[in-house]
Amino acid sequence: MEPNQPQGSDIREHPVCVWVAQLGQFLQLNAEETDRQTVASHLLQLIVAMPGVQEARICWQDATGAGEIGSVSAGDGDTPPLTVRYKGDDGFSLLLHLRAHPLMHATLECWLQGMLPVAAGLMAGAKADEDAALFAALTAQSPFSVLILNAAGELIYANQAYAISSGYCPDDQRGQPVLWRSGDGFDNRLRGQLLALKEGECWEGEILTRRADGRHVWEQQTVSVLTRQGVVTHLIAIRRTLSHAQRQLREVEQALLLREQALVSSSNGIMITRSDASDHSIVYVNPAFEKITGYSADEVIGREGRFLVRDDLQQPDLEEIRTALREKRAGTALLRNYRKDGTQFWNELHISPVKDAQGAVTTHFVSVINDVSERVRYQKELEYQATHDSLTGLANRSLLNDRIAQAIAWAKRSGLFAGVLLLDLDHFKLINDASGHGAGDEMLRQVAARLTQCVRDTDTVARLGGDEFVVVLTDLADTADIDVVAEKILQTLARPIDIQGQEIFVTASIGTSVYPRDGDHGEILLRYADIAMYRVKEHGRNSVRQFIPEMGQNAISRLNMEAAMRRGLEQNEFLLHFQPKIDLTSRKVVGAEALIRWQHPQIGLIHPVEFIGIAEESGLIIQLGEWVLRRACEQQVRWREAGLASLQIAVNMSSRQFRQDDLASKVAQIILDTGIDPARLTLELTESMVMQDLNSTLATLRSLKNLGVSISLDDFGTGYSSLSYLRRFPIDELKIDKSFINDIHTNPDDAAIASAVIAMSLSLGLDVVAEGIENAEQAAQLREMKCHQGQGYYFSRPVDAEQFAAFVRRQEG
């Protein structure tokens, strides 16, 4: 041993690898006997052989502050911990945890420098009593708590610093798992760290411990492992109590780290700008900003904050941002911004002020950039769909109403005129049926394109539905300009339209109205243009007519009738009459046809011929038809409950009612609600009705048949149906129109037609009903022709439900 080494026990066997130095001179280094060939052969040979530690040529790697190694014994007070890697010339490498503090030993003022292995490589143990004495002396003077535990984490030894900081007597704690014991017992969150230590890994972190007096304190704890032949034998823990200020500093550092990570990880672009600069220059952008805009951070730092707007400065929301910056407050705006490559994106921008430490002065603004281009595109698409016709791309009724209102408002301010043209294609249904729906849709698209070519950008072309279009003209100096545009439309439509290689000619009937002469509201102008258009259809079509007051007299009467009908439905003014259907062979009542009547409170009983046409035109027929169907079904159920169970009830359906997409579901719901046996319900359809759009008709008929109801073809012989269509349709009954019955007993032609219809029906397995039988001769001749049933004044006029029930009972009696 060198003469300047401390006298006393050898410290080579201490569990912590230490060297003792005075004024930079090496005194003594401990090491496990079994590691002489590794540690001692390197450290002892390199250090002891040299005059002083400051001259030792030791290669340190991966060391934070490696340059401080040579002067670690020259300072005052504790040194900060260092993690270093020693590497010898022969390739030997060791990762060490280095810490130093002053030590008074005998008469020498020395430094105790501890090197604790971070990984397996040094093994130590107090094998001798004299070694333990010196080790106790060393650890007793440590300002930090030093704990030695077995591999299970149970306390073997703790120094005086631990007793002072914890308030516990180490002897009382011996054998206890004190490493991570918190105020609530063993901290299960760190149980995995104990398992890691048993595998030879080290651990460092902050723990919340409970003192003996019940107080909780935060401590910095470092735990390393000691191994023997690759097996963990001991754990060494060093604790340092954190002051409140230190803890606060750590929390602030952690919070700042989290916020920095949040900024870096955010999917939204973040831009921080100066508040004290007039251009609000940029001081920070995150990676998401770079990704969204295409600009790198180096390219934008120092630039003015609004540079993404470029020259697009006439954006309404920009004023909100300007005001927010001026008033030092938060603000939100939806802006058009531009990427580095010039492409536009929609930026939902949120800005928030950042205050100084006192919260008094705004120093910066944080801008959150959110690329919402896809959302804006989707919203615009929804808005377009809500205001435009899906087939033609023209304005729909909703947008049309808005445009008419704008045209009227502008005309009112400017003293000019506004015109409305309502256009209906002539014979479109025939073209559609002959060429198919696909061809009809293509024709409507081409008509829409031609109409758009006939007007200015300030005008509006709209599609009301079907083959009806509306043109709104603005800024008209003369009402004659309306006729000029209308004639231009007729000439444009006169050119043939090519549909799938076939030339189709189409004409139109156009009615017009003008503001302010004809009215000051859009609905009024549309209605008057519609009236004028129907007057064109009545006089040959393919022409234009302006609305004149005389046309409105009849229209006003119709409007009054429509309003009265709506009121009548609400106040239950409508009722049903029933005309018996008679078996011509047995003369028994087999059913009834339900016929609507209107009991007007002032006028009295109104026949349907006076109001059904208006109901059809206004669309009220759908509501009226559903009312009839429901009341008829309810009445059949009441008759059944009264003992008239075998009666069949027949209900007429209008064309509009039959063309509803959800007709079958509505009928099914009424059957369910009323409880009628569907086999007792017959739906009567006219021949002309079913011959429109044959594919759709067939689908609807099949849906109705699936409900179990019967289908009757009414007014047969007045249309143009053929035998082939009759065989395709799932119908159960034919009704011969009364026009063929009137002279059946006097006119051989009518008789021949009736006989042929009956024979054909029998061959198809259909029931046959003759309408309008008014005398015995007609009934007898039809019976001879094998006609199954008949109805007409000869048997009974339509009567109310009570009278009908009495008639049935008389016939049965």
For residue 562, is it within any domain?
Answer: no
CA pair distance 614, 616, nearest whole angstrom: 5
The mean per-residue pLDDT over the stretch 127-149 comes to: 69
177, 190 contact by CB (below 8 A) = no
The domain total for the chain is: 4
Least confident piece of the model among 23-27, 476-480, 484-488, 661-665? 23-27
| Its pTM surpasses 0.75 | no
- Please determine, for residue 91, whether its predicted confidence score (pLDDT) is greater than 90: no
Q: Clarify whether residues 363 and 466 are in a common domain.
A: no
pLDDT value of position 723: 56
Q: 201 vs 119, which has greater pLDDT?
A: 201
With a cut of 60, say whether residue 66 has pLDDT above it: no
Residue 623: CATH number of its domain: 3.20.20.450
Residues 296 and 361 in one domain: yes
pLDDT beyond 50 at 117: no
**Distance of alpha carbon 441 from alpha carbon 448, whole angstroms:** 11
- Residue 211 falls inside a structural domain: no
Q: How many helices (H) and strands (E) does the chain have?
A: 26, 34
Residue 176 lies in a domain: no
Q: Bridge-partner residues for 145, per DSSP? A: 239
Per-residue pLDDT, 710 = 96
Bigger pLDDT: 13 vs 441? 441
Please tell me the distance from the alpha carbon of residue 300 to that of residue 293, in angstroms, as a whole number. Answer: 10
Strand partners, 110: 103
- The yes-or-no verdict on residue 36 having pLDDT over 60 is no
pLDDT tens string 316-345: 889 999 999 999 999 999 999 999 999 999
Chain CA centroid to CA 41, Å: 72
Q: Establish if 271 belongs to a structural domain.
A: yes
Domain stop point among 329, 350, 377: 377
In this predicted model, what pLDDT tens digit does every residue of 422-452 receive, in sequence order?
999 988 877 776 666 688 889 999 999 999 9
349: left (phi over 0), alpha (psi -120 to 50) or beta: beta
Q: Are residues 364 and 440 in the same domain?
A: no
Are 439 and 533 contacting, i.e. CB atoms less than 8 angstroms apart?
Answer: no
630-636: average pLDDT = 96
Residues 502 and 536 in one domain: yes
Q: Give the residue, 409 or 80, on which the prediction is more confident.
A: 409
- Neighbouring residues of 315: CB distance < 8 A, sequence distance ≥ 6: 309, 335, 336
Most confident range, picked from 11-15, 641-645, 665-669, 746-750:
665-669
The two tokens of residue 628 are 């009839």
Tokens 């209906």 found at = 424
The domain of 332 spans: 250-377
For residues 368 and 439, state if they share a domain.
no
- 609 in any annotated domain: yes
Report for 169-178, 181-190, 768-777: range of highest mean pLDDT: 768-777
Helix (H, G, I), strand (E, B) or coil at 150: strand
Query: Does the pLDDT at position 371 exceed 80?
Result: yes
Q: Are 201 and 93 in contact (CB under 8 A)?
A: no
Query: Looking at residue 733, what is its pLDDT?
Result: 92
| pLDDT given for residue 431 in this prediction | 73
**Is pLDDT of 347 > 80?**
yes
Higher pLDDT, 629 or 194: 629
With bands split at pLDDT 50, 70 and 90, how would you rate the model's confidence at 619? confident
Give the pLDDT of residue 342: 93
Question: Last residue of some domain: 90, 112, 141?
Answer: 141
Q: What percent of the chain has pLDDT over 90?
A: 38
Total length of the chain: 813
Whether the per-residue pLDDT at 472 is higher than 60: the answer is: yes
What value, to the nearest 5°, has the Cα angle with vertex 292 and ends 290 and 296? 20
Q: Per the domain annotation, does 766 fall within a domain?
A: yes
Beta-sheet strand order (sheet of 508-515)? 460-465, 468-476, 417-425, 508-515, 544-546
List, as own/partner pairs, every contact residues 741-745 make where C-beta atoms lie below 8 angstroms and the sequence separation is at least 24, other chains included.
Answer: 741/770, 741/771, 741/772, 741/773, 741/778, 741/782, 741/792, 742/772, 742/774, 744/778, 744/781, 744/782, 745/775, 745/777, 745/778, 745/781
Looking at the structure, tell me whether residues 521 and 576 fall in a common domain.
no
Phi/psi at 219 (5° precision):
-135, 145
Q: Are 522 and 404 in contact (CB under 8 A)?
A: yes
* Residue 22 reports pLDDT greater than 70: no
**523: exposed, middle or buried (C-beta count within 10 Å: 0-12, 13-18, 19+)?**
exposed
Q: Is residue 152 part of a domain?
A: no
465 or 189, which is more confident?
Answer: 465
pLDDT digits (tens, 9 = 90+) for 673-730: 999 999 999 999 987 788 777 788 889 999 999 999 999 988 776 554 455 567 778 9
Residue 373 falls inside a structural domain: yes
What CATH code is carried by the domain that includes residue 450?
Answer: 3.30.70.270
Q: Do residues 494 and 525 share a domain?
A: yes
Q: At what angle do helices 397-414 and 373-387 cross, to 10 degrees?
A: 80
Same domain, 671 and 784: yes
Q: Which pLDDT band holds residue 133 (cuts at 50, 70, 90)?
A: low
Higher pLDDT, 250 or 167: 167
- Alpha helix segments (H runs only) across 38-169: 45-48, 129-140, 160-166
- Determine which helix (DSSP H) or strand (DSSP E) holds 148, and give its type and residue range: strand 145-150
When pLDDT is averaged across residues 512-538 and rounded to a whole number, the result is: 89
Do 108 and 256 sit in the same domain of this protein? no
CA-CA distance, 106 to 337, in Å (whole number)? 77
The residue among 791, 784, 730, 724 whose CA lies nearest residue 760 is: 724
Would you say residue 509 has pLDDT above 90? yes
Q: What confidence tier does 275 reach under pLDDT thresholds 50, 70, 90?
A: confident
**What is residue 194's predicted lDDT score, i.e. its pLDDT?**
67
Question: Same domain, yes or no, for 451 and 578?
Answer: no
Evaluate if residue 239 carries a pLDDT over 60: yes
How many C-beta neighbours within 10 Å does residue 120 have? 17
Contacts of 409 (CB under 8 A, 6+ apart): none
CATH number of the domain within which 371 lies:
3.30.450.20
Domain termination residue (choose one: 352, 377, 402)? 377
Question: Greater confidence, 802 or 120?
Answer: 802
Judge if 705 and 775 occupy the same domain. yes
Q: Looking at the structure, do residues 637 and 785 belong to the same domain, yes or no?
A: yes
DSSP 81: P
604 φ/ψ sector (left φ>0, alpha ψ -120 to 50, else beta): left
